[in-house]
Amino acid sequence: MQAETIELEHFDLLEDDICTQRIIAAKRSLGKHAVILAHHYQRADVYRHADLTGDSLKLSYLAAQTDADFLVFCGVHFMAEVADILSSEQQIAILPDLSAGCSMADMANLSKVTRAWQELSEVLDTDEMVTPVTYINSAADLKAFCGEHGGIVCTSSNASKILQWSFAQREKVLFFPDQHLGRWSGHQLGISLEQMAVWDFDEPMGGLTPEQIKKAKIILWKGYCSVHQMFQPEHILRFRNKHPDGLIISHPECSYEVCQASDYVGSTEYIINTVRDSKPGTHWLVGTELNLVSRITEEFKPQGKIVQFMSPMVCMCSTMARIDPQHLAWSLENLVAGNVVNQIKVSVEESKLAKRALDRMLEIS
């Protein structure tokens, strides 16, 4: 018989240091039955407990390779969904706080994308002319939509390669939910800005004319990351004026203008590796989430490297930060007691279609 669930309210007022002790004790009790995964953007007091760290796809892939029964994902909702899709039927994905979502992912939902597909079909033969491409930062049902319609998933590190594959299938791409990643990736392939139209999901026909739709090579969903949109070209200009020998590296979720003004552009893993491989004493301006920048600032300080956050304002992934030591301790202690809380489960049919789109990406990458 299942034990009584331990209520979250017993953890809400616990001090962080007490939670830390209880997390360590719970991990010891669970042993190899549970693995804790933490995204690079995760807050430090949770990140420290991770068994595996990385970006969203890397973590989901690593989780699927483990023998752990429980995959405790310290990230956001779509990441736990991917972990559930790629892992075995016996493994259980858990998200310590169900409110840990992604504002960018929420900008594209299945009803809006389905409507856009139907509206596009009034101008184009979508099945013959358009490949749907979803960023991994999206819900499972959108990955399933791509799987069903001959589309694919991409990450921030392989988006350009995925676009190349997509254009080999059909002449146009519908890219969602992040317009900035789609625009920069298209630019890397030599596609002009004039050939990339923005689809406003709140407007009929995306706010576009039939001529604009026909002309577009890439139709960009009007979505964005609220953190990366904070970075501006003037932040880079100010840094270059003060530090002419400094280097700028940005995530491709930043605006086109910020990416264009940067020396390097790439995923979270790329940013970490590029700064790690740089010469001692280099000075970096980094355009990505604050927790990651703070972490590598300390990591590379002994090498004389200065790592500086791009924005003068504090901007971190607030939804990711909702997973705190209290929620992590609560979910782990329930597992010790024999209870599963906050399981993330994708339906069998949705998982099958989403995995089709993910497998296409993994095969290409």
Name the token pair of 273: 């590796």
Q: Write the pLDDT tens digit of every residue in 114-167.
A: 999 999 999 999 999 999 999 999 999 999 999 999 999 999 999 999 999 999
User: What are the start and end residues of each CATH 3.40.50.10800 domain in the chain?
Assistant: 8-101+320-346, 105-225, 228-309
Instruction: Indicate the Cα dihedral angle 105, 106, 108, 109, nearest 10°.
Output: 120
Residue 312 scores a pLDDT above 50? yes
Residue 316, SS3? coil
pLDDT by residue (tens digit) across 77-113? Answer: 999 999 999 999 999 999 999 999 888 999 999 999 9
| Local confidence band at 12 (pLDDT 50, 70, 90 cut-offs) | confident
pLDDT at 318: 62
6/22 Cα distance (integer angstroms): 14
Other C-beta atoms lying within 10 Å of the C-beta of residue 347 = 12
* pLDDT (0 to 100) of residue 235: 97
pTM: 0.93
Of 242, 230, 262, nearest in space to 103 by CA? 230
- Residue 316 pLDDT exceeds 70: no
Helix axes 140-148, 77-86, angle to 10 degrees: 50
Paired tokens of 322: 């909702």
Instruction: Tell me which CATH homologous superfamily contains domain 228-309.
Output: NadA-like (3.40.50.10800)
Averaged pLDDT of the chain: 94
Instruction: Output the pLDDT for position 1.
Output: 43
Q: What's the whole-number mean pLDDT along residues 40-46?
A: 92
pLDDT tens digits for range 247-297:
999 999 999 999 999 999 999 999 999 999 999 999 999 999 999 999 999
Q: Which CATH superfamily is domain 105-225 in?
A: NadA-like (3.40.50.10800)
* Percent of the chain clearing pLDDT 70 (strictly above): 98
Structure tokens at 34: 């549970």
Q: How many CA atoms lie within 13 A of 363 on its CB side?
A: 8
CATH superfamily of 8-101+320-346: NadA-like (3.40.50.10800)
- Whole-angstrom distance, CA of residue 159 vs CA of residue 87: 23
Question: Which residues does 6 contact at the CB level (< 8 Å), separation at least 6?
Answer: 330, 333, 334, 337, 339
| pLDDT at residue number 55 | 86
